[in-house]
RNA sequence: GGCGCGUUGGAGAAGCGGCUUAACUCAUCGCCCUUUCAAGGCGACAUUCACGGGUUCGAAUCCCGUACGCGUCACCA
């Protein structure tokens, strides 16, 4: 039997790193075992569904390369792949549970339920539904109906049962049914709740491994009860550790301490393979010394035995480093393509630009960038009309070697028949011979005078890309 | 509060009873390379695994308790 795994997001927002990581783990395991990876949209929350969220999710997954074998856009024999298109399917099972007495209509209002929860809480007990409408007579039901009350449908949770299941990451887990009140499986608007829909969908779509975040651990016993009531075999479960922010708290979508939406990473010039690599290591580790993994390597090595139980703290510094590794290894042309929009957005280049020149500029900085967006900041002095000298820069320029070196170099540059990295290098050598200054005393004044910065990349190439005119102008301003 | 899960350095983590004088990575700090600047190479960085008991010849690894953290208790997923 081939394995079938799924990622089932609710279309209520943007694809965030937690969702992408859950999807990735599902994908990796499915591919490792030669099975299928399915995308399904869990859109039972009509109030929170967002118009284009589903499209955003799919675009995000396509960008990451997590292609689904079945689901929206691609179809499949177990469709449809979103809950709102499956309402009639749920109806069949709702009717069955009702007919067998495993579910019942509940007419309690939101206010009544709220009061009940508060009362239980006050007594120190688990707030839960105590079964008010569990055994309504036909007369009582008609009375409620006549009064215009809308019914939700609740699952009748059996007393005194121990609900056990095995988790591939956490081992055997038990819950007591007494801690679980009769929960709603169909809302009063006729739409099933997540717990009900997800169970039916997983069973009908022949999902063999349910892999999701730890926040679903306490939902599992509720779902177990449904599998049992409908006579279905249980899938394997795996509950992934939560992703925590740098202060150890669960990542909330409103948390701005870290960048957490996939599209933001795309916009910042992160490479999808870096994101996948980093996400794979969030909670999972192969154990060896390797840090950089291709997708094929991840697929080959992934296993749930090596997923940790404790929360995984999102270390954005390490992600940045990893992205830098991928940028360094990437083809220059690819990075140039990604860099151009940033340069245009900064107003440094227009719609028409010299591709060869931009390409050299990007090449100059490629090995030192952690995100392609950094190109704008890094290369800003190439496009500035005036160079600003901060305190540190001024300190360098007031070194005793500065006036002599700058004047000599300016003169050399003006004489140069050709202005390129090689001739600049030779000119610098000549300045050294003529002035007697070398090393830091020679290079730093030139670097700072022309770029305004003490740090930068290869000086010869930097100057050649800047062009003779800018170099001479900047030097002349200081020599005066 | 009930239930559930966790707790290894500045950070991410490996470790599954002896091979651990606790991998690897990020960050930091040195050194090397480079006449400058980066990148790169090399090295340093937890005598100790939340705390207290216990089991064992032997524990970061197993058991119990305490503390702390997190998740969850919805007609949200």
Q: What is the pLDDT of residues A32-72, one digit of tens each?
A: 999 999 999 999 988 888 888 899 999 999 999 999 999 99
* Structure token digits, residue A469: 């005119």
Which sign does the torsion angle of CA A89, A91, A93, A96 carry?
Answer: negative
Q: Considering all nucleic acid strands, name the nucleotide whose C1' atom is nearest to the C-alpha of residue A43.
A: B77
Tell me the range of A93-97, A112-116, A125-129, A140-144 where mean pLDDT is highest: A93-97
- The closest of A433, A430, A388, A396 to A412, measured between CA atoms, is A430
* A388-401 pLDDT tens trace: 787 777 788 877 78
pLDDT confidence of residue A254: 67
The CATH class, in words, for A331-376 is mainly alpha
pLDDT band per the 50, 70, 90 thresholds, residue A331: very high
Q: Which residue has the higher pLDDT, A120 or A95?
A: A95
Residues 220-249 of A with CB under 7 A from strand B: 242, 244, 246, 248-249
Mean pLDDT of chain A: 88
Q: Assess whether A408 (CB) lies less than 7 A from strand B.
A: no
Does 3.40.50.620 match the CATH number of domain A4-70+243-313?
yes
Domain positions in chain A are 4-70+243-313, 86-240, 331-376, 391-479
What's the mean pLDDT in A300-326?
88
CA of A450 to C1' of B36 (A): 13
- What whole-number distance in Å separates Cα of residue A140 and Cα of residue A119? 25
Residues 195-224 of A with CB under 7 A from strand B: 195, 198, 214-219
**What percent of chain A clears pLDDT 90, i.e. is strictly above it?**
47
pLDDT confidence of residue A368: 86
Answer yes or no: is pLDDT of A312 > 90.
no
**Architecture of the CATH domain A86-240:** 3-Layer(aba) Sandwich (3.40)
What residue is closest to B1 (Cα–C1')? A124
What's the mean pLDDT in A310-322?
87
Helix (H) or strand (E) holding A224: helix A220-229
CA atoms within 13 A on the CB side of A189: 7
Helix boundaries (H) for A13-161: 17-32, 53-64, 87-99, 110-122, 138-146
* A451-470 pLDDT tens trace: 888 888 889 999 999 988 88
Active site residues of A: 253
Q: Considering all nucleic acid strands, name the nucleotide whose C1' atom is nearest to the C-alpha of residue A458.
A: B37
pLDDT confidence of residue A149: 85
* A351-365 pLDDT tens trace: 999 999 999 999 999
Complex ipTM: 0.89
Whether the domain at A4-70+243-313 and the domain at A86-240 fall into the same CATH topology: yes
The annotation status of A425 as a binding-site residue, yes or no, is no
Q: Assess whether A148 (CB) lies less than 7 A from strand B.
A: no
* Bases along strand B below 7 A from a protein CB: 1-8, 11-16, 23-27, 35-40, 69-77
In DSSP notation, A374-436 reads HHHHHTHHHH-SS----HHHHHHHTSTHHHHHHHHHHHHHHH-SS-SHHHHHHHHHHHHHHH-
* A257-310 pLDDT tens trace: 778 889 999 999 999 999 999 999 988 888 777 888 999 999 999 988 888 888
What's the mean pLDDT in A192-202?
94
* Structure token digits, residue A458: 């290869």
Q: Which residue has the higher pLDDT, A384 or A296?
A: A296
* A24-33 pLDDT tens trace: 999 999 999 9
Answer yes or no: is pLDDT of A480 > 80.
no
In CATH terms, A391-479 corresponds, of 3.40.50.620, 1.10.10.350, 3.40.228.10, 1.10.3210.10, to 1.10.10.350
What's the mean pLDDT in A182-193?
93
| CA distances, A309 to each of A276, A305, A306, A458 (Å) | 20, 10, 9, 46
pLDDT band per the 50, 70, 90 thresholds, residue A330: very high
Q: Which residue has the higher pLDDT, A161 or A69?
A: A69
Q: Which residue has the higher pLDDT, A52 or A79?
A: A52
């Amino acid at each position: 039997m081939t394995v079938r795994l799924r990622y089932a997001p609710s279309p209520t927002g943007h694809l965030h790193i937690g969702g992408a990581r859950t999807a990735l783990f599902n994908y990796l395991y499915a591919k490792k075992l030669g099975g299928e990876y399915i995308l399904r949209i869990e859109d039972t929350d009509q109030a929170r569904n967002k118009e284009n969220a589903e499209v955003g999710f799919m675009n995000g997954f396509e960008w990451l390369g997590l292609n689904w074998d079945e689901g929206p856009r691609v179809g499949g024999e177990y469709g449809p792949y979103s809950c709102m298109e499956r309402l009639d399917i749920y109806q069949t099972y709702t009717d069955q549970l009702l007919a067998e007495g495993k579910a019942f209509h509940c007419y309690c209002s939101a206010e009544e339920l709220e009061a009940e929860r508060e009362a239980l809480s006050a007594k120190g007990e688990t707030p839960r539904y105590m079964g008010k409408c569990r055994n309504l007579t036909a007369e009582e039901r008609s009375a409620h109906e006549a009064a215009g009350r809308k019914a939700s449908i609740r699952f009748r949770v059996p007393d005194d049962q121990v609900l056990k299941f095995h988790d591939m990451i956490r081992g055997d887990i038990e819950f007591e049914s007494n801690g679980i009140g009769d929960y709603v499986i169909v809302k009063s608007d006729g739409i099933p709740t997540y717990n009900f829909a997800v169970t039916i969908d997983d069973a009908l779509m022949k999902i063999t491994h349910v892999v999701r975040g730890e926040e679903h651990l306490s939902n599992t016993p509720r779902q177990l009860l449904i599998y049992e009531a409908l006579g279905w075999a249980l899938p394997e479960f795996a509950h992934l550790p939560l992703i925590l922010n740098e202060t150890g708290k669960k990542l909330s979508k409103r948390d701005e301490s870290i960048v957490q939406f996939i599209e933001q990473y795309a916009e910042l010039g992160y490479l999808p393979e870096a994101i996948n690599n980093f996400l794979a290591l969030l909670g999972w580790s192969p154990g060896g010394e390797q840090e950089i993994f291709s997708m094929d390597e991840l697929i080959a090595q992934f296993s749930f035995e090596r997923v940790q139980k404790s929360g995984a703290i999102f270390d954005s510094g390490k992600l940045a480093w990893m992205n830098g590794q991928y940028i360094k290894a990437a083809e220059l042309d690819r990075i140039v393509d990604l860099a151009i929009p940033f340069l245009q957005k900064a107003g440094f280049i227009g719609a028409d630009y010299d591709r060869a020149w931009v390409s050299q500029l990007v090449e100059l900085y490629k090995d030192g960038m952690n995100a392609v967006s950094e190109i704008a900041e890094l290369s800003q002095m190439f496009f500035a009309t005036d160079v600003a000298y901060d305190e540190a820069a001024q300190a360098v320029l007031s070194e005793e070697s500065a006036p002599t070196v700058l004047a000599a170099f300016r003169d050399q540059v003006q004489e140069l028949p050709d202005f390129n990295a090689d001739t600049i290098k030779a000119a610098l050598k000549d300045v050294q011979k003529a002035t007697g200054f070398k090393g830091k005393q020679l290079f730093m004044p030139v670097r700072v005078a022309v770029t305004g910065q003490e740090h930068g990349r290869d000086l010869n190439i930097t100057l050649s890309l800047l062009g003779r005119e800018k170099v001479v102008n900047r030097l002349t301003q200081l020599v005066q």
